[in-house]
Amino acid sequence: MELSKERAAVYWDQLGGLRDEAFMQAVRAAVNFDERFPTVAALRGHYRDALRRDAQTTVCLPGRQVIDRALARQWIERIRSRMR
């Protein structure tokens, strides 16, 4: 599909401020699952899903340290087993 300059400007205005990695995940999801050219609303929906998935796998602590939740659970289980 050819995208007009006007339509591209609307997409940029609405989506230009989104985080790169999550937006790329949204575009990949739209290309993989949507049958038609994605609307701004559809891309935003896929973007929210990508952010949710990212939030479920990582935690940001003060000081901007990123922690993998699965690894943290493993360490907690090790500590608990040693305390028994």
- The string of pLDDT tens digits covering residues 13-70 is 999 999 999 999 999 999 998 899 999 999 999 999 999 888 776 655 565 566 677 7
Q: How far is CA 20 from CA 24, 25, 30, 62, 76, in A?
A: 6, 9, 15, 22, 33
pTM over 0.85: no
Comparing CA positions, the residue from 39, 40, 46 lying closest to residue 16 is 40
Identify the residue with better confidence: 63 or 4. Answer: 4
